[in-house]
Amino acid sequence: MSIHKTEALVLKTSPFRSSSLIVTFFTPHFGKVRGVVKGVHREGEIRQAGFEPFTHAEYIFYEKKRSDLHLISEASILDSHHALRDRLEGIAYASYFCELVDEMTEIQDPHPRIFDLLKESFRFLAVIPPPRLATIFVAQLLREMGWLPYLESCLECDAKPLEDGFFSIRHGALLCKNCRSKDTAAKPVGAATLAVLRSYSRDALADCLRASHSVSVETQISVLITTFLNYRLGKPLKTRKFLDSILPKSAPR
């Protein structure tokens, strides 16, 4: 049984037997890890705080060779992210980010840049309009997972440079006006929207957040990215459904 000490962010927890928890957390070098914390309820709120969703901490876990459910022994909190829990919107979006990472990653498949993206996004949630942050987060998560739509030229004829075109959800790529017949459901994408989409998929999170764009461009990108994500996942996530239920109908998603 190997012993590991790692920085991590808690994605979710669930009760296990009378006094224990199953914790799923995301680490820079081990990827997603699941483990059991024994006796957490018997030891009071201080012990439990290290395993609350969104918590950033250092954990010690004992890796079991014949199971992907390991034994977690200690947690040293680095940032509890209390600011995320002050508003329903903050909790909802942080939960959405966590569910996305949990849904899209495999057990113990390292993605250091996804860990950094999640950590940085938690930090920005308290100060940046969450709907816009969520759009950029999804675009960059798709990039890190290799799911990013092809945005550089027409999928069919390779026409470039492509300043505008049609976004095919089914193909995950752009089509030019001459090739739109390959997917008549493809959505028109203007030059401004396409430029921002490319920026979100290429630039650092902080740089994307500093840039200013019109509400119409942000709304179109949000709809395209969310629709594409749902298509790839084969379903809308529970947290996404909840967000849609609490957001004003006119707000970007």
- Does residue 251 have a pLDDT over 70? no
Same domain, 111 and 151: yes
Answer yes or no: do 61 and 166 share one domain: no
How many domains are contained in the chain? Answer: 2
203 φ, ψ (degrees, to nearest 5): -90, 165
Identify the domain boundary among 45, 80, 115. 80
Q: pLDDT value at position 85?
A: 85
Asked whether residue 118 falls in the same domain as residue 8, the answer is no
| 17 and 125 part of one domain | no
Residues 22 and 128 in one domain: no
What does pLDDT average to over the chain? 90
Tell me, what CATH number does 19's domain have? 2.40.50.140
Q: Is 109 exposed, middle or buried (0-12, 13-18, 19+ CB in 10 A)?
A: exposed
Give pLDDT tens digits for 42-67: 555 556 778 999 999 999 999 988 88
Same domain, 69 and 147: no
For residue 128, what pLDDT is reported?
87
The pLDDT > 90 percentage for the chain reads 72
pLDDT above 80: residue 113: yes
How many other CB atoms are found less than 10 A from the CB of residue 43?
12
Q: For position 155, what pLDDT does the model report?
A: 94
pLDDT in tens, 75-85: 999 999 988 88
CATH code where residue 120 lies: 1.20.1440.120
pLDDT in tens, 171-198: 999 999 999 999 999 999 999 999 999 9
Instruction: Determine the pLDDT at residue 3.
Output: 93
Q: Please tell me the predicted confidence (pLDDT) of residue 142.
A: 95
Please indicate, yes or no, if residue 102 is contained in any of the structural domains: yes
pTM score: 0.91
Residue 251 lies in a domain: no
For residues 108 and 205, membership in a common domain is answered with yes
φ and ψ at residue 57, rounded to 5 degrees: -155, 170
pLDDT one-digit tens code per residue, 141-150: 999 999 989 9
Q: Residue 65 has what pLDDT?
A: 85
Lowest mean pLDDT among 12-21, 107-116, 149-158: 12-21
Asked, for residue 59, whether it belongs to a domain, the answer is yes
Query: Is the pLDDT confidence value at 135 over 80?
Result: yes
Residues 61 and 117 in one domain: no
**17 and 138 fall within a common domain:** no
- For residue 15, the model assigns a pLDDT of 86
Verify that 31 and 102 share a domain, yes or no: no
User: Are both 72 and 119 inside the same structural domain?
Assistant: no
Q: Which of these three, 80, 95, 117, is where a domain ends? A: 80
- Give the residue from 45, 64, 80 where a domain finishes: 80
Paired tokens of 174: 């752009």
Residues paired with 3 in a beta bridge = 62
> How confident is the model at residue 66, as a pLDDT?
85
Residue 41 confidence class, pLDDT cut points 50, 70, 90: low
What CA–CA distance (Å, rounded) separates 43 from 60?
17
253 occurs within a structural domain: no
Domain span at residue 118? 85-246
How many C-beta neighbours within 10 Å does residue 27 have? Answer: 20
Amino acid type, 118: L
Whether the pLDDT of residue 248 is over 70: the answer is no
